């Protein structure tokens, strides 16, 4: 048996152990609760809509000028701009020399009602500043992010929203293609487009109201001056790279980045070493610069009108163009340049025809597509139809731009079996081929179809942006 002293000692030890256990339990529980609170706050700070990029609301401000309103601005409005939740073109006054073409376009596109914009490249700082102040005064609480772009920028808005979905619009941060000089912490390329969070726009407005900030109202380089102003209120550029350290925003065209045709200034300015070939650009690429109107339409067609669902490059085969009118060859023939395809049975009969001296298949000379068709006819091979359900062509003997614009040579108007169409009716959503495609366009088309193609083919109607 324990003595009274030993008994009291054991009771004391038990009380101490119990107290320590309770204290440890309370501490661990409290720490766990704090951990989850911190985790939840971290997740919120990363992005409030992680599961739904489409809920990220973006306002796009696109700088243009009267001389480009019916070419560049029109192309941007008819391609990527309506994918923004709302967009405005920022332009100076047209003056008294406005043309009928310009009037027609201005009635179709949303132009921000901003007065006193000074014309000229040297006044882009003023134009961008007024654009951001317009956005602050009218739309600060309606959008999460505010994009500044040019009329020769192409933005893949779905990729932009996916990227921004992982960011917090309440943070004083901007995103774009990062330059490392001139401004503390660097700045973004203006032509590649850049994005301000809601908090950044708020601080930009405050900076312009603060006489001690010394924000430049005009002159200088627009992207540099906007960045300098933002730095006075603690707004800094974020990183805009994918997981493979490939760029999301691009200050040059796809071709220049792909080919590695970098001007000396880019290699000096760029925060990250420019890369070429397909490493030039993320599969989630957001923007390119110096994109001509024809390329705007081509990129939009490839990204949104075609239904590419595979990210694996297909095996290239000899494909077929729809029949032409029955001239020269009975039942017509296929355009050689648009490519054409023979079934296994057709190929077998073609072989038989060439072994048959009575077929008179021409071995050389003449027009390739005509002579191949003549040879096939001797063995009962005839051209099938190559149209989609809306009677749009699948195979095209010209480039996309020529078909889209309606630049049809006289011979095509004469030879074509089906009436030629323009704009997006020129070409099926299941389009198979185009002709006269330059090497640069080959790479661009391959990149957009099999690497950067959006995962969703649901396109908002243009009316939703107006």
Rounded Cα–Cα distance for residues 360 and 377 (Å) = 11
Q: Are 259 and 253 in contact (CB under 8 A)?
A: no
> Are 290 and 184 contained in the same domain?
yes
User: What digits encode the pLDDT tens for the residues 29-47?
Assistant: 443 343 333 323 333 344 4
At residue 51, the pLDDT reads 56
Strand partners, 179: 187, 270
> Are 112 and 249 contained in the same domain?
yes
> Are 428 and 387 contained in the same domain?
yes
User: What digits encode the pLDDT tens for the residues 56-92?
Assistant: 999 999 999 999 999 999 999 999 999 999 999 999 9
At residue 21, the pLDDT reads 43
pLDDT under 70: residue ranges of the chain: 1-51, 307-329, 455-466
> Are 267 and 331 contained in the same domain?
no
Burial class of residue 428 in the structure, from the number of CB atoms within 10 Å of its CB (0-12 exposed, 13-18 middle, 19+ buried)? buried
SS (H, E, C) 98-155: CCHHHHHHHCCCCECCCCCCCCCHHHHHHHHHHHHHHHHHHHCCCCCEEEEEECCCEE
- Domain residue limits at 139: 53-305
Rounded Cα–Cα distance for residues 332 and 370 (Å) = 9
At residue 461, the pLDDT reads 36
Strand partners, 236: 173
Coarse DSSP helix, strand, coil percentages of the chain, rounded to the nearest 5 percent: 45, 10, 45
At residue 268, the pLDDT reads 94
> Are 281 and 318 contained in the same domain?
no
Q: Which domain-ending residue is among 305, 325, 354?
A: 305
> Are 191 and 301 contained in the same domain?
yes
Tell me how far the alpha carbon of residue 319 is from its chain's centroid.
Answer: 29
Q: Is residue 351 part of a domain?
A: no
Rounded Cα–Cα distance for residues 211 and 225 (Å) = 15
Q: Are 289 and 189 in contact (CB under 8 A)?
A: yes
Q: Is residue 282 part of a domain?
A: yes
Phi, psi of 241 (to 5 degrees): -125, 155
Q: Is residue 233 part of a domain?
A: yes
> Are 246 and 331 contained in the same domain?
no
3-state secondary structure of 270: strand
Q: Is residue 7 part of a domain?
A: no
Angle at 315 between CA 392 and CA 436, to 5 degrees: 50
At residue 455, the pLDDT reads 57
At residue 244, the pLDDT reads 95
């Amino acid at each position: 048996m324990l003595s009274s002293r030993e008994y009291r000692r054991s009771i004391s030890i038990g009380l101490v152990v119990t107290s320590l256990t309770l204290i440890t339990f309370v501490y661990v529980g409290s720490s766990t609760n704090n951990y989850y609170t911190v985790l939840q706050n971290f997740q919120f700070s990363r992005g409030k809509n992680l599961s739904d990029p489409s809920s990220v609301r973006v306002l796009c401000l696109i700088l243009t000028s009267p001389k480009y309103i019916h070419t560049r601005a029109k192309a941007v409005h008819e391609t990527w701009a309506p994918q923004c939740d709302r967009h405005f073109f920022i332009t100076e006054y047209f003056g008294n020399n406005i043309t009928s073409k310009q009037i027609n376009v201005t009635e179709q596109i949303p132009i921000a009602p901003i007065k006193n914009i000074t014309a000229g490249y040297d006044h882009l700082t003023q134009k961008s500043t007024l654009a951001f102040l317009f956005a602050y005064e009218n739309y600060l609480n309606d959008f999460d992010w505010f994009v500044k772009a040019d009329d020769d920028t192409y933005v893949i808005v779905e990729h932009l929203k996916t990227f921004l979905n992982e960011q917090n619009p309440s943070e004083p941060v901007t995103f774009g293609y990062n330059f490392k000089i001139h401004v503390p912490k660097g700045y973004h390329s203006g032509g590649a487009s850049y994005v301000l969070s809601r908090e950044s726009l708020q601080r930009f407005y405050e900076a312009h109201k603060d006489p001690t900030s010394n924000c430049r109202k005009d002159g200088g380089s627009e992207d540099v001056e906007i960045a300098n102003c933002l730095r006075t209120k603690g707004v800094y550029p974020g990183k805009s790279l994918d997981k493979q350290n490939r760029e999301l925003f691009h200050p040059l065209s796809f071709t220049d980045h792909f080919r590695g045709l970098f001007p000396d200034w880019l290699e000096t300015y760029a925060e990250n070493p420019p890369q070429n070939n397909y490493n030039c650009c993320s599969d989630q690429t957001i923007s390119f610069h110096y994109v001509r109107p024809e390329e705007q339409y081509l990129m939009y067609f490839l990204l949104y009108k075609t239904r590419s669902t595979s990210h694996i490059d297909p095996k290239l085969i000899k494909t077929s163009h729809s029949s032409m009118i029955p001239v020269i060859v009975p039942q017509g023939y296929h355009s050689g340049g648009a490519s054409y395809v023979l079934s296994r049975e057709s190929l077998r009969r073609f072989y038989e025809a060439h072994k048959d001296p009575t077929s008179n298949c021409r071995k050389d000379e003449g027009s390739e597509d005509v002579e191949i068709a003549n040879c096939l006819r001797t063995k009962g091979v005839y051209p099938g139809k190559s149209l989609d359900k809306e009677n749009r062509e699948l195979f095209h003997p010209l480039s996309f731009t020529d078909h889209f614009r309606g630049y049809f040579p006289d011979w095509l108007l004469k030879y074509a079996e089906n009436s030629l169409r323009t704009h997006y009716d020129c070409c099926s959503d299941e389009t198979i081929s185009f002709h006269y495609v330059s090497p640069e366009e080959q790479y661009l088309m391959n990149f957009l179809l099999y690497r950067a193609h959006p995962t969703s083919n649901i396109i908002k109607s243009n009316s939703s942006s107006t």
